[in-house]
Amino acid sequence: MKEDTAVMDRFLRAYELMLGFYGIKLENKKTGSVTRNRNYLERFENLNNHTHNNLRITRILKCLALLGYEHFQAPLVKFFLEETLLHNNLKNVKSSITSHFLKAVKDNKEYRDLKEYESSLRASRESEIRKERKLEWAVSCWPKQKSN
């Protein structure tokens, strides 16, 4: 099947179609890099509200490796890590990234790099949350101004 260019072209078109459904656009057909599609807000809302799609994304990641697009896996997982942990857009996808998406990445080096990236994003996010809480606490301690 991998040798049949017509089949592989159809697979790539189907991959792009599914990415579009999730609000994602294939930016580079050689590297597999992805970016937000113009309709991403609407589609991300759908992803957050319908978590059964997370299993489909896991199947897509596994299929990429089986059909010779293993190098497409890491860019897609990295995209989900960033949208979830950096931009806080996909809160209901967060557990699937660790439980399923990352584990689907076939290349061991890519897997380790993504795990390190996930750890750094989580640490950064936790630091931001601590700063926000300190600021909220400080503001709550300020004396209230009396209105005349």
What pLDDT sits at residue 80?
Answer: 98
For residue 110, give the nearest of 62, 73, 66 by alpha carbon: 73
Q: Is 20 exposed, middle or buried (0-12, 13-18, 19+ CB in 10 A)?
A: middle
**pTM score of the predicted model:** 0.83
CB 77 within 8 A of CB 105: yes
Element (H, E) at 114: helix 108-141
Q: Tens digits of per-residue pLDDT, 74-96? A: 999 999 999 999 999 999 999 99
Q: Give bridge partners of residue 36 from the DSSP assignment.
A: 24
The more confident residue out of 60 and 130 is 60
**Spans of all domains in the chain:** 5-140
